Amino acid sequence: MTFKELSEYFEKLENTSSRLSLIDILASLFSKVDSSEVGIVSYLIQGRVAPFYEATEIGMAEKSVAAAIARADKVEREEVLKRYGKLGDLGKVAEELAGKRQSQGLSVKQVFEALKEIASYSGEGTVEKKINALTNLVSNASGIESKHLVRIPLGTSRLGIGDPTVLDAFALLKLGDRSKRKLLEGAYNKVSDLGLIGEVLWQKGLKGVEKLEVTVGRPLRSQLAERINDPKTILEKFNGEAHIQYKYDGFRVQIHKDGKKVRLFSRNLEETTPMMPEIIAGVLKQVKAKTAIFDSEALAYNPESEEFLPFQETTKRRRKHGIAEAAKAMPLKAFVFDVIYYDKKSLVGMPVKERMKILDQAIIGDEVLVKQTGEFVKDYQKIDERFLQALTQGLEGLIIKRPDSLYEAGARNFNWIKMKKHSSGELKDTIDCVILGYIYGRGKRASFGAGALLVGLYDKERDLFVTVAKIGTGLSDQEWREIHKRADKIKVDKKPARVDSIIVPSVWVEPEIVVEILADEITKSPIHTAGKENGEPGFALRFPRLVRFREGDKRPEDATTVKELIELYNLQYSKK
Ligand code: ATP
């Protein structure tokens, strides 16, 4: 496939505002690629040159991209920047300056390889090398090729294509029906690599995909928990026996050990290896097996007071600079609550009970990795007792698991249950929302560019973002400025295809930023689209306020789902 053809598809994808047509366009695009191209195209349409979990960033600053455009089009960089000031998009500037230049027939493979090389440059002279390589590509590209090409290193492609949408297109094209996405999803949850799924599907069909297995070095999607706060109900659901562990509030770390090489991945599968040197050292010291994957929660620990620090402190460890000092001042411990792979064998098909036996042998000592094999209990008083103990120790509550359940990558069901703090008998839990747009403020607020945020949830069944609240209060002027700064980078000029909304904000943004919201109540609402169907009203949050940003560890598809919101709504009324 030529990059020109791909760019024409980019144009179509950019111009649609319906999710179904996104899938159709993608299916048509994928019908034109062979097995050696499907992976490449899957990455490029998401503005990447590797699966999400690989930390290969092509990352070029606007200044550098402007320089490359200037050189390719033989104009001054100032001219490029002047036009950028007017058009607000370097892609459009590149298109305009290319004028009638003909495509030189670059193939998607050539572009992909060149971009990958740009991503690999490091050390002295990096900036210049990157500019040269991009100049070379742009000089051989036509207008629309240039437009989409330069957006990739800038990270501004914003076609709004999430992984489920690509899987839908694969299913439609190769399995005849997009509802067959579910058949691909199981494997996707285990390998987290769309390109790999595509390649295997093209080469070996569905049977091949179904054989894909968990591998060290390739993160799998985390298993997640549902909420129930009553131990009796939990035991009934589990036929009388439950496995309980403390629930630590830090950040989730998936640990991969392959010989002397250790890699760490976050809740949303981003590589966090460089951020936590003490955990790496701990793994090498405390784990004897050559290969292993562990699921853990990392928490900052104050060595002086021997206390666990609250999440707000722990999260300061998610940084790119000053790592050695931070690791010294605020060392992390990893509470290892599961083992997913051990000694060359995947354990996803093994029940909790067996996995805990392996975990018990897998980790020696408790210097950095602290194994959490939990306990198996049969009466609810024991659960209550442990729950209170957890709270007394400043923890959030318990995670309760079905003893015979297997490790289900990416699943959120009642095999894992979180039991969290109550406040005055009522469930108080926060909701993770995605910012979908903002509404200009009046008066004093207007000067900060935002008066209210339009936020939404993820409708997993439909793979759409639906609205649930407008948030106008609880933010300081400084926080508004901050939001404005972040949202400005991802604003788009029309409703993204995967957003379903009745409210039209002053500015739409690509669904990317996840925020944690606390609200007083969930109410029915005719103006919000969360849970709205068949003429029935949707749901809204009453008195929503922002608690914190979650973009570091959650992707938009990790936001609270409509299904969960409805469960919370029902729970809220059953309590009253
Ligand atoms: P979620 O991860 O379910 O989307 P969240 O990030 O808001 O939601 P919680 O709902 O508070 O987190 O709880 C689930 C998280 O608790 C897990 O993702 C994991 O990071 C953490 N956790 C702490 N202890 C355990 C444990 N023993 N077993 C499983 N998860 C645990």
- State the pLDDT at residue 447: 59
Number of domains in the chain: 3
Do 460 and 404 have their domain in common? Answer: no
**Could you tell me if 392 and 200 are in contact, meaning their C-beta atoms sit under 8 angstroms apart?**
no
CA dist 256 → 270, 284, 324, 410, 530 (Å):
13, 11, 21, 17, 37
- State the pLDDT at residue 444: 57
Question: Among 137, 154, 171, where does a domain finish?
Answer: 154
Q: Tokens in use for 38?
A: 């499907």
Give me ligand 1 centre to Cα 218, in Å.
Answer: 21
Give me ligand 1 centre to Cα 267, in Å.
Answer: 9
Do 410 and 462 have their domain in common? Answer: no
The residues assigned a catalytic role are 247
Asked whether residue 426 is assigned to any structural domain, the reply reads no
| Cβ-proximal residues to 84 (8 Å cutoff; 6+ apart), any chain | 62, 66, 90, 93
Do 393 and 317 have their domain in common? Answer: yes
CA dist 522 → 260, 307, 428, 548, 563 (Å):
50, 36, 11, 19, 13
Give me ligand 1 centre to Cα 391, in Å.
Answer: 16
Do 413 and 470 have their domain in common? Answer: no
Predicted confidence (pLDDT) per residue in 175-210, tens digit: 999 989 999 999 999 999 999 999 999 999 999 999
**Could you tell me if 498 and 522 are in contact, meaning their C-beta atoms sit under 8 angstroms apart?**
no
Do 414 and 473 have their domain in common? Answer: no
Question: Hey, which of 268, 372, 383, 418 would you mutate to test ligand 1's pocket, going by the most ligand atoms within 8 Å of its Cβ?
Answer: 418
Q: How far apart are CA 220 and CA 193, in angstroms?
A: 9
Asked whether residue 28 is assigned to any structural domain, the reply reads yes
Confidence class for position 442, pLDDT limits 50, 70, 90:
low
Do 385 and 484 have their domain in common? Answer: no
- State the pLDDT at residue 446: 57
Do 462 and 407 have their domain in common? Answer: no
Strand ranges (E), 402-544: 412-420, 422-423, 426-427, 431-439, 452-459, 464-471, 491-492, 499-500, 507-509, 514-518, 521-525, 538-542
Model confidence, pTM: 0.86
Confidence class for position 443, pLDDT limits 50, 70, 90:
low
- State the pLDDT at residue 519: 87
CA dist 39 → 35, 202, 217, 507 (Å):
8, 10, 18, 34
Do 389 and 444 have their domain in common? Answer: no
Which residues have CB under 6 Å of ligand 1? 224-225, 245, 247-248, 252, 267, 297, 337, 372, 399, 418
Asked whether residue 170 is assigned to any structural domain, the reply reads no
Give me ligand 1 centre to Cα 134, in Å.
Answer: 42
Name the DSSP class of 542.
E
Convert 52-116 into a string of H (helix), E (strand) and C (coil): CCCCCCCCCCHHHHHHHHHHHHCCCHHHHHHHHHHHCCHHHHHHHHHCCCCCCCCEHHHHHHHHH
Asked whether residue 172 is assigned to any structural domain, the reply reads no
Q: What is the CATH number of the domain that holds 109?
A: 1.10.3260.10
Mean pLDDT of 130-144: 96
Chain mean position to CA 8: 28
Asked whether residue 316 is assigned to any structural domain, the reply reads yes
Confidence class for position 59, pLDDT limits 50, 70, 90:
confident
Using a 10 angstrom Cβ sphere, with 0-12 exposed, 13-18 middle and 19 or more buried, the burial of residue 28 is middle
Question: Hey, which of 245, 369, 371, 399 would you mutate to test ligand 1's pocket, going by the most ligand atoms within 8 Å of its Cβ?
Answer: 399
Name the DSSP class of 320.
S
DSSP characters over 246-308: EE--SEEEEEEEETTEEEEE-TTS-B-GGG-HHHHHHHHHHB-SSEEEEEEEEEEEETTTTEE
Closest atom of ligand 1 relative to the 338 alpha carbon: 28
Do 346 and 382 have their domain in common? Answer: yes
Q: Tokens in use for 84?
A: 């950028």
Q: Per residue in 64-102, is it b (16+ CB within 10 Å) or e — as a string?
A: bbbbbbbbbbeeeeeebbebbeeeebbbbbbbbbbeebe
Do 389 and 453 have their domain in common? Answer: no
Mean pLDDT of 156-172: 92
Name the DSSP class of 162.
-
- State the pLDDT at residue 224: 96
Q: Tokens in use for 223?
A: 């298993």
- State the pLDDT at residue 521: 86
| Cβ-proximal residues to 188 (8 Å cutoff; 6+ apart), any chain | 163, 167, 194, 197, 221, 410
Do 350 and 499 have their domain in common? Answer: no
Q: Per-residue pLDDT for 286 more than 50? A: yes
| Cβ-proximal residues to 152 (8 Å cutoff; 6+ apart), any chain | 44, 47, 58, 115
Distance between first and last Cα of the chain: 61
- Regarding predicted confidence, which is higher, 405 or 521? 405
- State the pLDDT at residue 427: 41
Confidence class for position 329, pLDDT limits 50, 70, 90:
confident
- Regarding predicted confidence, which is higher, 421 or 372? 372
Asked whether residue 163 is assigned to any structural domain, the reply reads no
Cα dihedral value 416, 421, 424, 425, nearest 10: 20
Q: What are phi and psi of 293, to 5 degrees?
A: -125, 130
Q: How many residues does the chain have?
A: 576
**Could you tell me if 107 and 34 are in contact, meaning their C-beta atoms sit under 8 angstroms apart?**
no
Closest atom of ligand 1 relative to the 553 alpha carbon: 6
Give me ligand 1 centre to Cα 229, in Å.
Answer: 15
Asked whether residue 232 is assigned to any structural domain, the reply reads yes
**Could you tell me if 64 and 127 are in contact, meaning their C-beta atoms sit under 8 angstroms apart?**
yes
What is the Rg, in whole angstroms, of the alpha carbon atoms belonging to the chain? 25
Q: How many CB atoms lie within 10 A of CB 498?
A: 24
**Could you tell me if 562 and 536 are in contact, meaning their C-beta atoms sit under 8 angstroms apart?**
no
Cα dihedral value 494, 496, 499, 501, nearest 10: 0
Asked whether residue 215 is assigned to any structural domain, the reply reads no
Do 395 and 295 have their domain in common? Answer: yes
Closest atom of ligand 1 relative to the 374 alpha carbon: 27
Q: How many CB atoms lie within 10 A of CB 485?
A: 10
Q: How far apart are CA 193 and CA 46, in angstroms?
A: 12
Q: Please report the sign of the dihedral spanned by the C-alpha atoms of residue 433, residue 436, residue 439, residue 445.
A: positive
Q: How far apart are CA 159 and CA 10, in angstroms?
A: 8
Predicted confidence (pLDDT) per residue in 515-563, tens digit: 999 888 898 998 999 999 888 899 999 888 888 888 778 899 999 999 9
Give me ligand 1 centre to Cα 341, in Å.
Answer: 20
Which of 125, 33, 56, 17 has the alpha carbon at shortest distance from 498?
17
Question: Among 102, 129, 154, where does a domain finish?
Answer: 154
Convert 163-222 into a string of H (helix), E (strand) and C (coil): HHHHHHHHHHHHHCCHHHHHHHHHHHHHHCCHHHHHHHHHHHHHHHHHCCCCECCECCCC
Question: Among 420, 446, 473, where does a domain finish?
Answer: 420
Q: Tokens in use for 428?
A: 């108080």
Predicted confidence (pLDDT) per residue in 482-501, tens digit: 887 888 888 888 999 999 99
Q: What is the CATH number of the domain that holds 540?
A: 2.40.50.140
Q: At what angle do helices 163-170 and 181-191 cross, to 10 degrees?
A: 130
Query: Domain limits at 31?
Result: 3-154
Question: Hey, which of 223, 297, 420 would you mutate to test ligand 1's pocket, going by the most ligand atoms within 8 Å of its Cβ?
Answer: 297
Predicted confidence (pLDDT) per residue in 244-262, tens digit: 999 998 999 999 999 999 9
Closest atom of ligand 1 relative to the 223 alpha carbon: 18
Closest atom of ligand 1 relative to the 249 alpha carbon: 23
